Amino acid sequence: MSTVELEEVARFLAEHEPFSDLHPAAIAELTATITIRYVRRDTPIVAAGASNDELYVIRAGAVDIRAADGVLLDRRDAGRAFGHSTLGTTEPSLYDMVAVEDSLLLCIPETVFVSLCAQYPAIGQYFDSQSGRVAHAAQQLRETAASTLLSTALDEIMVTDPVVIEHTVTIADAAQRMVEHRISCLPIVSATTEDTLAGIITDKDLRRVVGERIAPDNPVTAIMTADVLTATPDTPAFAAMLTMAERHIHHLPIVDRGRLVGIVATGDLLRLTQQDPMFVIGDISRATDTSALATSYHGAKAVACSLIERSGKASDVAHMMTTATDTLTRRAVAIAVEELGAPPVDFAFVTVGSQARQEMGLASDQDNALILSDNFDPAADDAYFAALGERVTRMLAAAGQPLCPGNMMASNPQWRLTTAQWKQHFATWTTDPQPDALLNAQIFFDMRPIAGVPALATEVHEFAVDQAAGARRFQAHLAALATRREPPLGVFRGLVVDRSGEYANTLDIKKGGIAAVVQMARLYGLVAGSYAIGTTARLADASEAGVISAAGAHQLIDAFDLLTTFAQQAQVTAFRAEEQPHYHLNPKLLSKMQRETLRDAFACIKSMQQALANKYPVHQV
């Protein structure tokens, strides 16, 4: 590589984990050992069962990691690496690694990688944990894929009204028809009864025409397969996949009472195993406009609904939705930067609230902000970041993440500040807390970087936590806010519902339940000096620090998980009905056991609020 290429590769590595933690001199030394490889789409890079002696870092493009049985485990794009599971061992690869886009790969020799891990143990630990996540994903996705394949019939996935051709036409005519329609197979039907299947040809048959020098003006019957294996519309997809694998065929005509009604290809069946978060998130990351973002993000919500309907863990569903929204936000920022040009100073686009805590639901709206380098010059730079904030928030809204009703977004100049300005805000909030300001400001203690320079956000967040850890008066204000989120319980443990309005006869499971736990966890976490952002992580840290008892932390975590599950189920119902998802629940639609469980969760929260009120002078603030 030329000097310019070496410098470009070094910069690229410095921007991506785990290499971003290396000293520039170490990155330069590593870069000198790297070779660059270009691979075309659909090119196998490492095969399951084969040996491999390089770590691949994706400079551009995308690569699928698949188990030997074809289950998709991960789709990796620019900045991510693969191939490490075989390095430093004599074991062959457990996975197939295939380029799904034209890709540019940075290749690091095995000896260099092993030496790097020995010199910098954190590098090895990073890749070891990644391998463990892939193995775990393999088991989960096999179970999901098998369930989907067993329950889906071919009429749900087949191509209806397929392109066909009569048996009297020539090979050349058939080939022309396949080119025109961009198809890889062509059912042959009787010239007298167009829906009666006579045979089939595929692109493999056309290659045989060339290889065996068969005259293209011969009738298509000369190369077609006449004894065609078929299936019926109600054939399970799983059975069809087994049959096609056994017969080594890639296309299966669907016949109903002697009539050709559709066709299924192996790709249609494989897509059933691909209705998982990694595929839809991969689609979001490759979207190039708002329309594509909206389609992909809607797909992510649909996958979340399917996970909820299959009784997926509430935390897993929330994490999946958050990951999809993070990817959406990151892509929106990238598109906006492409349109606006390079930013004049460093920035961090941060998410706050439920997205920052990785606790998103289908009803979550936008909460975001911009942190700007202290080199920011308002006169010269403000127009750029005003446009960036506006474009990103509008793009997110168009893609399906609603605008924040309280305008707590990067498009609002109030939440587009330099590092120093953010620190001043947190210093003011913690030393001189004003109740009205706290109602909005507390959410910014839940802050996580999505795009730009993460260090800016980390610096601000850690400063905020350090300020709050010893601010007793500020903590009392947070305690007051948490205790005022009264659970909807009556005097005799009856569930209290709204009597009128849009949500009459329902209770708000967020207002007096989920939000109350979030606020208590935030307070306990800040008192403990925890830099954690998620609710359960904060409670765990607070328990370990002795700020809250282990029993109290577990009770709140259990209540939080239970209420989140109820909220997710209600949101699925709204989503399937094409209504706006919400947090309102009608107790009459629950079973007696569910209502009792709901009462217990609210009672637990109320008890912890009372304990909090005894600890802090909540009635004096």
Looking at residue 62, its pLDDT comes to: 87
The answer to whether the CB of 339 falls within 8 A of the CB of 394 is no
Looking at residue 104, its pLDDT comes to: 92
The answer to whether the CB of 368 falls within 8 A of the CB of 402 is no
User: What contacts 440, CB < 8 A, 6 or more positions away?
Assistant: 406, 408
What average pLDDT does the segment 360-377 reach? 95
* CATH value at residue 164: 3.10.580.10
pLDDT band at residue 284 under the 50/70/90 scheme: confident
Percent over 70 (pLDDT), the chain: 92
Does any domain span residue 620? no
Looking at residue 137, its pLDDT comes to: 42
Tokens describing residue 471: 């601010």
Tokens describing residue 93: 């690869």
Same domain, 293 and 437: yes
What average pLDDT does the segment 506-522 reach? 94
Same domain, 180 and 254: yes
Show the CA angle centred on residue 241, arms to residues 237 and 246, nearest 5°.
Answer: 150
pLDDT band at residue 100 under the 50/70/90 scheme: confident
Q: What is d(CA 162, CA 321) in angstroms, rounded to the nearest whole number?
A: 36
Which of 218-232, 312-326, 380-394, 504-518 has the lowest average pLDDT? 312-326
Does any domain span residue 38? yes
Same domain, 479 and 589: yes
Calculate the average pLDDT of the chain: 87
Does any domain span residue 463? no
Tokens describing residue 291: 């329309």
Same domain, 361 and 408: yes
Q: What is d(CA 299, CA 305) in angstroms, rounded to the nearest whole number?
A: 10
Which of 79-93, 130-144, 379-393 has the lowest average pLDDT? 130-144
Helices and strands in the chain: count of H runs, count of E runs: 20, 20
- What is the secondary structure of 188-255 as a DSSP string? EE-SS-TTSEEEEEEHHHHHHHHHTT--TTSBGGGTSBSS---B-TTSBHHHHHHHHHHHT-SEEEEE
Give the residue among 420, 414, 404 at the shortest CA–CA distance from 364. 404
Give the residue among 421, 520, 521, 524 at the shortest CA–CA distance from 469. 524
Q: Which of 200, 235, 264 is the last residue of a domain?
A: 264
Tokens describing residue 295: 């389609």
Q: Which of 126, 146, 180 is the last residue of a domain?
A: 126
Q: What is d(CA 424, CA 244) in angstroms, rounded to the nearest whole number?
A: 66
Instruction: Look up residue 125 and give its amino acid.
Output: Q
- pLDDT > 60? residue 241: yes
- pLDDT > 80? residue 246: no
3-state SS, residue 87:
coil
Q: Which of 229, 264, 299 is the last residue of a domain?
A: 264
Query: In degrees to the nearest 10, what's the CA dihedral of 301, 304, 308, 313?
Result: -140
- pLDDT > 90? residue 33: yes
Count of structural domains, the chain: 4
Q: What is d(CA 303, CA 275) in angstroms, rounded to the nearest whole number?
A: 7
Looking at residue 134, its pLDDT comes to: 44
- pLDDT > 80? residue 440: no
Greater pLDDT, 193 or 407? 407
Q: What is d(CA 184, CA 84) in angstroms, rounded to the nearest whole number?
A: 36
3-state SS, residue 365:
coil
Looking at residue 71, its pLDDT comes to: 62
pLDDT band at residue 101 under the 50/70/90 scheme: confident
C-alpha distances out from residue 394 to 289, 354, 603, Å: 12, 19, 40
The pairing of beta strand 368-372 with beta strand 416-418: parallel
- pLDDT > 50? residue 142: no
* CATH value at residue 547: 1.20.120
Looking at residue 129, its pLDDT comes to: 54
Block residue for tokens 């193995």: 135
Tokens describing residue 170: 């020539």
Q: Which of 86-90, 152-156, 551-555 reaches the highest mean pLDDT?
A: 551-555
Q: What is d(CA 438, CA 436) in angstroms, rounded to the nearest whole number?
A: 5
What average pLDDT does the segment 389-414 reach? 95
- pLDDT > 60? residue 147: no
Greater pLDDT, 463 or 277? 463
Taking every pair of Cα atoms in the chain, the longest distance, rounded to a whole number of angstroms, is: 95
Same domain, 359 and 415: yes
pTM, full prediction: 0.61
Query: In degrees to the nearest 10, what's the CA dihedral of 413, 414, 415, 418?
Result: 80
Same domain, 121 and 186: no
* CATH value at residue 41: 2.60.120.10
Does any domain span residue 107? yes
Number of C-beta neighbours around residue 505 at 10 A: 14
Same domain, 52 and 82: yes
What's the domain range around 241?
Answer: 158-264
Reported as a single tens digit per residue, the pLDDT across 112-136 is: 999 998 888 878 777 765 444 444 4
Does any domain span residue 364? yes
- pLDDT > 90? residue 415: yes
Tokens describing residue 459: 């610096």
Q: What is the strand order of the sheet 251-256 is part of?
A: 159-160, 259-265, 251-256
Query: In degrees to the nearest 10, what's the CA dihedral of 115, 117, 123, 126?
Result: 130
Which of 35-49, 131-145, 202-216, 497-511 has the lowest average pLDDT? 131-145
In SS3 terms, 490-509 reads as CCCCCECCCCCCCCCCCEEC
Same domain, 215 and 282: no
CA atoms within 13 A on the CB side of 447: 29
Tokens describing residue 563: 């209420």
Same domain, 524 and 604: yes
3-state SS, residue 487:
coil
Q: What is d(CA 386, CA 257) in angstroms, rounded to the nearest whole number?
A: 64
Looking at residue 272, its pLDDT comes to: 64
pLDDT band at residue 145 under the 50/70/90 scheme: very low
Residue 518 C-alpha from the chain's centroid: 23
Same domain, 106 and 176: no
Give the residue among 517, 520, 540 at the shortest CA–CA distance from 530. 540
C-alpha distances out from residue 521 to 51, 275, 555, 598, 599, Å: 48, 34, 12, 20, 20
Does any domain span residue 461? no
Reported as a single tens digit per residue, the pLDDT across 175-226 is: 999 989 888 899 999 877 767 899 999 888 888 888 888 999 999 999 999 8
Q: What is d(CA 197, CA 164) in angstroms, rounded to the nearest whole number?
A: 9
Block residue for tokens 């989120």: 485
Percent over 90 (pLDDT), the chain: 52
Same domain, 419 and 378: yes
Which of 97-111, 141-155, 245-259, 341-355 has the lowest average pLDDT? 141-155
Helix %, strand %, coil % of the chain (to 5): 55, 15, 30
Same domain, 260 and 288: no
Does any domain span residue 87? yes
Does any domain span residue 538? yes
